[in-house]
Amino acid sequence: MVFDAHSDIWTDVTIRFLKGERDIFRKYHFERLQKGSIEGSIFAIWIDSPYAETRPYERFLEMAEAIQNEISITQKFVIVKNEKEIQKARQNHQFYVIIGAEGLSSIGKNLDLIEQYYDLGARHAMLTWNEQNALATGVKGEVTRGLTELGKQAVQKIMKKKMLLDVSHLNEKSFWDITDLMEYPLIASHSNAKALCNVPRNLSDEQLFAIRDLNGVIGINAFHGFIHNVAAEQTIDNLIKHVVYIADKIGVEHVGCGFDFIEFLPSTEPEYATKGLEDYTKVPDFVKKLKQVGF
């Protein structure tokens, strides 16, 4: 069985919920996850465009309502908030979900709103998506800008609540600012090796070593653009090379999966999918190829 550290399924749930649909996870996602032998996942609350620029907090409230409705009616997953609940779900053969936050743009400058995420059940957080916000700087922000003073307070608050802190999407300055503050392991839930695909969202060797030294984990990302700089080479085999590279650099115990599948989102172009790993149903092929190269 496989754990996926990053999924945007809550976005699909919200879009369909606002159109009047219900029981969305069971109808559109559960079967594919079963075929992929996925046992659990971090489902991230992502404030997508144009809401991130215009009404991020209101979008969060819409997503929270959709999530709460889905939880109230589904029999196909359980929300887990700690390791004990994860182990119980596994023993009962239940699909388990950790609620996450892919960026905290919705809170603006009000750190008290982190409590709303926590009360919803979130036990994972990133400070930004790609944007630059009141807390930190994403990969599309200013290169020299890192965490703000407010962002450092947010990190302390997140650590105090023992939430999982995620550095995927941060620019390098923010990354290093966070590692200087961390008191327990962090993750990069869906990032690959910059040495094999030189894009801002991937991690340098120095960043890989820093995550290792914090006893953290990197989730290998199946999104095509983070696998290879040449479109024709964005394949499952070249993604396997990222697994091998990172495991050789910092140890296999620091490597996980953060697939970031988005084929179910309305704006996704099918031809952009990674060849051989287009969706959850192809994850067994990914595992098979890992075994073939020695894992």
The secondary structure of 37-69, three-state, reads CEEEEEEEECCCCCHHHHCHHHHHHHHHHHHHH
pTM: 0.96
Give pLDDT tens digits along the chain (295 positions).
999 999 999 999 999 999 999 999 999 999 999 999 999 999 999 998 899 889 999 999 999 999 999 999 999 999 999 999 999 999 999 999 999 999 999 999 999 999 999 999 999 999 999 999 999 999 999 999 999 999 999 999 999 999 999 999 999 999 999 999 999 999 999 999 999 999 999 999 999 999 999 999 999 999 999 999 999 999 999 999 999 999 999 999 999 999 999 988 887 666 668 999 999 999 999 999 999 999 9
Instruction: Work out whether strand 164-165 and strand 124-125 pair parallel, antiparallel, or are unpaired.
Output: parallel
| C-alpha–C-alpha distance, residues 138 and 72, integer Å | 34
| C-alpha–C-alpha distance, residues 91 and 242, integer Å | 32
CA-closest candidate to residue 123, choices 100, 156, 155: 100
Secondary structure E strands in 182-279: 187-188, 217-220, 255-257
3-state secondary structure at position 104: coil
Q: Look up residue 184 and give its DSSP letter.
A: S
| C-alpha–C-alpha distance, residues 106 and 125, integer Å | 12
